[in-house]
């Protein structure tokens, strides 16, 4: 039975390297057997997922949201002083949050919701096998040639020129001006641009693919392909999902008309309360 009263708690999760990460938990009276960790998109603060997290909690899940270092509540006072990169977000921040959830809720099953880069970074965590299932929304490879037409060339300009150039010149990337969420620390922006220029996408500094923990993950994945999301075309989603070679992956097209919406795009799934798609995600998570 769904429950209506949801309480939240703000906390700090100490990452494996000692960095403090801001997080929020959502719970309803009566307890829950499942914990859902929401992994946000690049530069998107955890507060963006507040309504969806409350909805999940109201349906009987414990929910945990968090900010990557350098973003939202996990940022310092000067973005130019942030020395983090995107690989740290996955290998340290995501892994540390999974560790914290397992410690905080012993005996409860862990599930994940990944939005865009959140699902990508999940694959970098060395402990992602502790999570039974991943509900992935617009989780894609960022390699620019997965796009076609004008968007391909716009992204080529972004990854080859604008993002690395501005990140070097300013010490950070002004994402807000480009509609990409919060401004990004320079190291995050430079690494993201480098990844998006490479056909292997997630690579180390020597150009070697970072696939070890993608390939080891053997849980279930439902990958939603939002049909009007130009930022995550089907080819890019399929490319990323192909790295989960031992997982049980199902691709699920999601058109705005399927849920009575005019548009969804890259961010619309989590924006509006009570969409039928949210109920579908609840049912899928419960089955896991």
Query: C-alpha angle 262/158/50, rounded to 5°?
Result: 45
1 has pLDDT over 50: no
CB count, 10 Å around CB of 77?
5
% the chain with pLDDT above 90: 90
* Confidence bin at 4 (pLDDT 50/70/90): low
108: left (phi over 0), alpha (psi -120 to 50) or beta: beta
Maximum distance among all Cα pairs of the chain, rounded to whole angstroms: 54
pTM of the full structure: 0.96
Please report the pLDDT score of residue 251 as a whole number: 98
Q: How confident is the model at residue 82 (pLDDT cuts 50, 70, 90)?
A: very high
pLDDT in tens, 226-262: 999 999 999 999 999 999 999 999 999 999 988 888 8
- Residue 95: its pLDDT value, please? 98
pLDDT, tens digit, 9 for 90 and up, residues 31-71: 788 999 999 999 999 999 999 999 999 999 999 999 999 99
Residue 84 pLDDT grade (very low, low, confident, very high; cuts 50, 70, 90) = very high
Render pLDDT for 185-231 as a digit per residue (tens, 0 to 9). Answer: 999 999 999 999 999 999 999 999 999 999 999 999 999 999 999 99
- Using the predicted structure, report yes or no on whether residue 270 has a pLDDT greater than 50: yes
Rounded Cα–Cα distance for residues 134 and 214 (Å): 12
As a three-state string, the secondary structure of the chain is: CCCCCEEEEEEEEECCCCCEEEEEEEEECCCCCEEEEEECCCCCCHHHHHHHHHHHHHCCCEEEEECCCCCHHHCCCCHHHCCCCHHHHHHHHHHHHHHHHHHHCCCCEEEEEEECHHHHHHCCCCCHHHEEEEEEECCCCCCHHHCCHHHHHHHHHHHHHHHHHHHHHHCEECHHHHCCCCCEEHHHHHHHHHHHCCCCCCECCCCCECCHHHHHCCCEEEEEEECCCCCCCHHHHHHHHCCCCCCEEEEEEECHHHHCCCCCCCCHHHCCCCCHHHHHHHHHHHHC
Q: What is the pLDDT of residues 132-181, one digit of tens each?
A: 999 999 999 999 999 999 999 999 999 999 999 999 999 999 999 987 88
Task: Tell me the domains of the chain and their CATH numbers.
Answer: 6-147+208-287 (3.40.50.1820)
Q: Looking at per-residue confidence, does 2 or 168 come out higher?
A: 168
């Amino acid at each position: 039975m769904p429950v209506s009263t949801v309480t939240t708690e703000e906390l700090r999760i100490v990452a494996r390297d000692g960095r403090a990460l801001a997080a929020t938990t959502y719970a309803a009276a009566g307890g829950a057997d499942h914990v859902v960790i929401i992994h946000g998109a690049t530069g998107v603060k955890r507060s963006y997922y507040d309504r969806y997290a409350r909805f999940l909690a109201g349906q009987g899940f414990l929910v945990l949201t968090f900010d990557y270092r350098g973003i939202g509540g996990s940022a310092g006072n000067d973005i130019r002083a942030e020395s983090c990169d995107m690989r740290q977000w996955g290998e340290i921040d995501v892994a540390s949050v999974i560790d914290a959830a397992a410690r905080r809720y012993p005996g409860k099953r862990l599930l994940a919701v990944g939005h865009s880069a959140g699902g990508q970074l999940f694959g970098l965590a060395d402990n992602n096998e502790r999570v039974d299932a991943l509900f992935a929304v617009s989780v894609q490879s960022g390699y620019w040639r997965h796009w076609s037409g004008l968007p391909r060339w716009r992204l080529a300009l972004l990854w080859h020129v604008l993002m690395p150039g501005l990140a070097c010149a300013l010490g950070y990337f002004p994402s807000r001006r480009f509609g990409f969420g919060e401004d990004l620390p320079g190291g995050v922006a430079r690494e993201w641009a480098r990844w998006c220029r490479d056909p292997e996408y997630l690579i180390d500094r020597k150009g070697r693919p970072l696939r070890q923990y993608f390939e080891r993950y053997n849980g279930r994945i439902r990958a939603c392909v939002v049909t009007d999301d130009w930022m995550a075309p089907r080819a890019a989603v399929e490319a990323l999902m192909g790295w989960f070679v031992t997982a049980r992956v199902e691709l699920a097209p999601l058109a705005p008309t399927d849920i009575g919406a005019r548009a969804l795009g890259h961010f619309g799934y989590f924006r509006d309360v009570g969409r039928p798609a949210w109920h579908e995600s609840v049912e899928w998570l419960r089955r896991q």
